[in-house]
Amino acid sequence: MLNINPPPLFLLFAICLLYLPALVNAAEISTPPPPPIDAKAYFLQDFHTGKVLAENNADEKLAPASLTKIMTVYVVFKEIKNGRLKLDDLVTISQKARAAEGSRMFVEVNEQVKVEDLLKGVIIQSGNDASIALAEHIAGAESTFSDMMNQHAARLGMTNSHFMNADGLPVEGHYTTAHDLAIVTRALINEFPDYYLWFSQKEFIYNKIKQHNRNQLLWRDESVDGVKTGHTEAAGYCLVTSALRENMRLISVVMGAKSASARANQNQSLLNYGFRFYEAHQLYQGKTALTDPRIWKGQQQTVPLGLDQNFYVTIPRRSYNDLKAEINVNKKIIAPVKAGDKLGTVRVTLKDDEIATRDLVALQPVDQGNIVRRLYDSVMMMMEKDEDGK
């Protein structure tokens, strides 16, 4: 019988030390790069935080085709919100709108159509005729409406966009980027959540003609609820999508794909990548007091500080326990204070790397106290300085 002696304990210990780094590294697998996307440009972003999860050529100026209509609809929604337009207003269809090329809603000259129906014709059917009709009704001429589009684009920070029409048919000087399209999409969802529901509608019937939404992902992925397709020979096949899973919303933009199925598949790949390897968390609720520091010379002794809106972070999956938050309040807050005044910060780190900082603001105003309170607090502040040796 072969007699095998066990290895000495020190040898086993040495072996464990040798393989320990490999075991640790295996447990801490880094986030892989995004999937390959065969398109001119793409962009993947978390809706709540704005964190970019994947991009390529995102700021390259490209022909957007009907993705233009996202901005068209945004401007119309703004007009409704500002009280200058109503959903049941009637729009008279012009010869120019009726003669629009490409995808159509099939409105007729001199027909009067409700704004709501035209909006659905733009959003669901991608109607060029409906886009022109709305532009003419709001601004008098499509060129003037284009000026409005450009003004809103500049206000939103779409620095690489310029619009020449409302429907997206190719014309020199009409361009945008994958990044800019994500900006306007994010604004549209954030500012008009009720109207955004129309982007998930799969079909629309007008003049007894039923047309289907061209966004294939609405049928394939129940988490997808928008946004818009586009195609011209110059632009290729384009698609902006948005999906909501477990309180995390992503916006994905693909421009210049080679086919309708390719743009759908590539957006699906980007969405799956984002949801698979990242997670979003709401750390703090906006308009809620996080701390109540001392305020000097005021009508009250404390002031509630919080955030002006909900505070989200986007992080790699399984890293939540590595998050740390630090609240820093300004020293010696002195009345008067207005609601919204910045009086500190909330700083969030992940493994000692800062990933987000938000201003800590006064949630309510605090006026100056009476003369007795101000004199008393002045003395107390001087005494604190003396005690601190300052």
Shared domain for 271 and 310, answered yes or no, is: no
Cβ–Cβ < 8 Å for 42, 253: yes
* Catalytic position from the list 51, 69, 78, 120: 69
Distance between CA 163 and CA 177 in Å, rounded?
A: 12
Locus of tokens 């039923």: 210
C-alpha to C-alpha distance for 199 and 182, rounded to whole angstroms? 15
Among 227, 251, 278, the domain boundary falls at 278
227 located within any domain: yes
CB proximity list for 216: less than 8 A, separation 6 or greater: 260, 261, 264
* Residue 221: other Cβ atoms inside 10 A: 17
pLDDT of residue 389: 53
Residues 175, 313: one domain? Answer: no
Query: What pLDDT, on the 0 to 100 scale, is given for residue 264?
Result: 98
Rg (CA), the chain: 28
Which residue range forms the structural domain that includes residue 183? 41-278
CATH, residue 358:
2.60.410.10
Structure tokens at 367: 């006026």
Cβ neighbours for 23, distance < 8 A, ≥ 6 positions apart: none
Residue 305 counted as domain residue? yes
Is 126 catalytic? The answer is: yes
* pLDDT digits 0-9 by tens, 296-343: 999 999 999 999 999 999 999 999 999 999 999 999 999 999 999 999
Question: Do 307 and 263 reside in the same domain of the chain?
Answer: no
* 357: in domain: yes
Considering the domain architecture, whether residues 152 and 185 belong to the same structural domain is answered as: yes
Residue 201's SS3 state is coil
Question: Is 239 a domain residue?
Answer: yes
Do the domain assignments include residue 170? yes
Task: Kindly state whether residues 226 and 291 are assigned to the same domain.
Answer: no
- Do 243 and 304 lie in a common domain? no
Whether 242 is catalytic is no
22 occurs within a structural domain: no
Asked whether residue 246 falls in the same domain as residue 270, the answer is yes
Residue 24 in tokens: 């640790």
Condensed to tens digits (0 to 9), the pLDDT of residues 32-88 reads 999 999 999 999 999 999 999 999 999 999 999 999 999 999 999 999 999 999 999
Cα 124 off chain centre by: 21
Tell me phi and psi for residue 66, to 5 degrees.
Answer: -75, -5
Under 8 Å CB-to-CB from 127, ≥6 apart: which residues? Answer: 100, 103, 104, 105, 106, 107, 118, 121
Length of the chain counted residue by residue: 390
Residues 357, 332, single domain; the answer is yes
Regarding whether 270 and 219 lie in a shared domain, the answer is yes
Specify the number of domains making up the chain: 2
Residue indicated by tokens 């009280």 = 83
With H, G, I as helix, E, B as strand and everything else as coil, classify residue 71: helix
- Quote the tokens at residue 205: 């019937």
Name the stretches of the chain with pLDDT < 50. Answer: 1-4, 7, 10-27
SS3 category, 330: coil
Which of 278, 298, 329 marks a domain boundary? 278
Examine the domain organization and report whether 165 and 265 are in the same domain: yes
Find the catalytic residue in 40, 78, 120, 126. 126
| Known catalytic membership, residue 269 | no
Question: What is the CATH number for 151?
Answer: 3.40.710.10
Residues 289, 273 within the same domain: no
CA nearest neighbour of 185 among 204, 165, 205, 161: 161
pLDDT value, residue 109 = 96
Residue where a domain terminates, one of 245, 278, 311: 278
Q: Can you read off the two tokens belonging to residue 278?
A: 């990242």
Q: Decide if 241 is inside a domain.
A: yes
Phi-psi region of 351 (alpha: psi -120 to 50; beta: other; left: phi over 0): left
**Domain shared by 309 and 375, yes or no:** yes
Give the span between the Cα atoms of 15 and 266, in whole angstroms: 46
**What CA–CA distance (Å, rounded) separates 26 from 47?**
31
